[in-house]
Amino acid sequence: MKNVVVFTGSGISAESGIQTFRDAVDGLWNNYVIDEVATPQGWRNDKEKLLRFYNERREQLLYVEPNAGHYSLAKLEAKCNVTVVTQNVDDLHERAGSKNIIHLHGELTKVRSTVNPSLIYDWSYKQLNLGDKCEKGSQLRPHVVWFNEKLNDEDVNLALNKIKEADYIVIIGTSLSVYPANEFPFYNTDYTTKYYLVDPSDFDVSMIPKRVKKFKHIKENSSTGTKKVVDEILSEN
């Protein structure tokens, strides 16, 4: 079976109704001060405000569903070894049926200890409040990677290894503007690897390393564009 790595950003979830962070019109960062709700300093300054922000994001998941793009990716697992490497913190890939998912930026449905980051708990869609503590008595925090925090080394290494082994790399709904994750899809050095980009926006092809010889931009939304890519891969396997 061929190896496929799918690298997803907020664009794949936007069609499900999840507000993106960076959209120029109604992105979340237009309505919130990043330093207050997505940094360690924000956590130190006002825990209640930060918890409220993520409680709102978590509650939103109750009212959205995976879209056709998510379901198309799950369908791909019938004939290929598929790993989804996502920058998203929602659970829509899981709910659509994808099995192998690496969340580079954490997960909204999990929380972790502030004294021991390895103590991670499934939290589902519940509210997280001041006074909710881990087994060691420390306040719990959202299990997301904030600005000025490192990505988890184990997740990074696993993602890069999967990318290096990939026969196909599919990039969906991301501007490839967030370092260092934006460089991940291009860690593959095999010139035979096929790359697909699914995104309705124009794309600066100068961002693609010269060693990438097979690259196709599907200039469509996730739901329709992803299906086209999946159908093409399945037809070859």
Q: Which residues are catalytic?
A: 105
Q: Is 133 helix (H, G, I), strand (E, B) or coil?
A: strand
- Long-range contacts (CB closer than 8 Å, 24 or more residues apart) made by 32-35: 34/147, 35/147
Phi, psi of 102 (to 5 degrees): -110, 115
CA distance 152 to 226: 28
Q: Is 141 helix (H, G, I), strand (E, B) or coil?
A: strand
Q: Is 11 helix (H, G, I), strand (E, B) or coil?
A: helix
Asked if 218 and 225 touch (Cβ cutoff 8 Å), the reply is yes
Instruction: Specify the DSSP element, H or E, that contains 224.
Output: helix 222-235
Asked if 5 and 163 touch (Cβ cutoff 8 Å), the reply is yes
